[in-house]
């Protein structure tokens, strides 16, 4: 899931950035009767790349390719993760930095076809729709410029604990949540430090796992199925 809503608890800087994101999207897009919203453009050519082909040490836990998600069934036919090439390259840089800290990236979701965003909206009760993206506006995931992710421990290969679970719709998902153990909060804060250290990504205030790429507005909303995205052979892993 992902929707940018303003609450009182996130920091002012993040709240303002989130509001500007929503305003820009709403002003630029208009949904067609049977398809994704379109904008005025011009947009950069789409160049979706599979993350593991750039760095196979990035681990995947694509929840929407399983029944372990809020829908209760798989909505992706394949457990794959794609982003626009500049965003993917920036994520690989994050992965390399984290290795020096003893951690790696664990991807839950990245590029998401617009039809899946519409499905989320259609099945979500009216009073819960603040937690999902409106298909009339679309999601940054639909542009190939958002990623949902956590961390894994390089020594054990296991996912590390955060103050709240992925896709949890509670205050524990906020990046400003003060509960949880010191270790859980340290993991969440390390992830944020790694993702925001060079300005390529910024966190969604209500979801510790969701990060948007800085240039997301340069790409159009898409509805391309995973099966239609060509991926080159994966390179050898970097040490």
CATH code of 136's domain: 3.30.1380.10
- State the pLDDT confidence band at 1, using cuts at 50, 70 and 90: low
188 in a domain, yes or no? yes
Among candidate residues 34, 50, 206, 207, the one labeled active-site is 207
102-134 tens-digit pLDDT: 999 999 999 999 999 999 999 988 887 877 899
pLDDT in tens, 61-100: 999 999 999 899 999 999 999 999 999 999 999 999 999 9
Residue 211 binned pLDDT confidence (cut-offs 50, 70, 90): very high
Q: Stretch 180-185: mean pLDDT, rounded?
A: 98
Q: What mean pLDDT is reported for the chain?
A: 86
Residue 143 lies in a domain: yes
Which pLDDT score is estimated for 40? Answer: 81
Percent of the chain whose predicted confidence (pLDDT) is above 90: 73
**Who wins on pLDDT, 40 or 142?**
142
CA distance linking residue 201 with residue 192, whole number of Å: 9
Query: Is 34 tagged catalytic?
Result: no
Whether residue 209 is predicted with pLDDT greater than 60 in this model: the reply is: yes
Q: Is residue 65 part of a domain?
A: yes
Residue 237 included in any domain: no
Report d(CA 162, CA 194) in Å as an integer: 15
Residues 6 or more apart whose CB falls under 8 angstroms from that of 65 comprise 74, 75, 76, 77, 78, 79, 80
- Where is average pLDDT lowest: 4-8, 33-37, 215-219? 4-8
Q: Tell whether 111 is covered by a domain.
A: yes
pTM score: 0.84
Q: Distances from the Cα of 40 to the Cαs of 34, 150, 180, in angstroms?
A: 18, 34, 44
Whole-number pLDDT of residue 9: 34
Q: What is the pLDDT of residues 131-171, one digit of tens each?
A: 789 999 999 999 999 999 999 999 999 999 999 999 988 89
Q: Domain for residue 37, yes or no? A: no
The verdict on residue 41 lying in a domain is: no
How many structural domains is the chain composed of? 1
Q: Which residue segment(s) compose the domain that 222 sits in?
A: 12-29+50-227
Whether residue 22 lies inside any domain: the answer is: yes
Q: Is the pLDDT of residue 215 over 50?
A: yes
Q: Taking each helix axis from N to C terminus, what angle separates 182-196 and 85-99, rounded to the nearest 10 degrees? A: 130
């Amino acid at each position: 899931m992902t929707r940018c809503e303003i609450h009182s608890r996130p920091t002012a800087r993040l709240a303002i950035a989130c509001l500007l994101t929503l305003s820009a999207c709403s002003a630029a897009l208009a949904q067609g009767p049977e398809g994704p919203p379109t904008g005025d453009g011009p947009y950069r050519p789409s160049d979706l790349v599979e993350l593991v082909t750039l760095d196979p040490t990035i681990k995947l836990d694509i929840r929407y390719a399983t029944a372990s998600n809020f829908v209760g069934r798989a909505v992706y036919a394949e457990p794959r993760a794609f982003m626009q090439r500049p965003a993917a390259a920036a994520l690989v840089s994050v992965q390399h930095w984290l290795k020096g800290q003893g951690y790696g990236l664990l991807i839950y979701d990245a590029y998401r076809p617009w039809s899946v965003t519409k499905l989320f909206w259609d099945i979500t009760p009216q009073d819960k729709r603040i937690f999902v993206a409106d298909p009339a506006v679309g999601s940054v995931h639909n542009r190939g410029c958002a990623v949902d992710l956590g961390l894994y421990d390089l020594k054990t290969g296991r996912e590390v604990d955060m103050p709240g679970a992925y896709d949890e719709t509670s205050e524990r998902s906020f990046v400003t949540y003060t509960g949880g153990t010191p270790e859980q909060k340290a993991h969440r804060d390390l992830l944020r430090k790694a993702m925001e250290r060079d300005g390529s990504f910024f966190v969604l205030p209500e979801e510790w796992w969701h990060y948007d790429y800085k240039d997301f507005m340069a790409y159009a909303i898409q509805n391309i199925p995973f099966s239609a995205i060509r991926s080159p052979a994966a390179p050898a892993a970097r040490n």
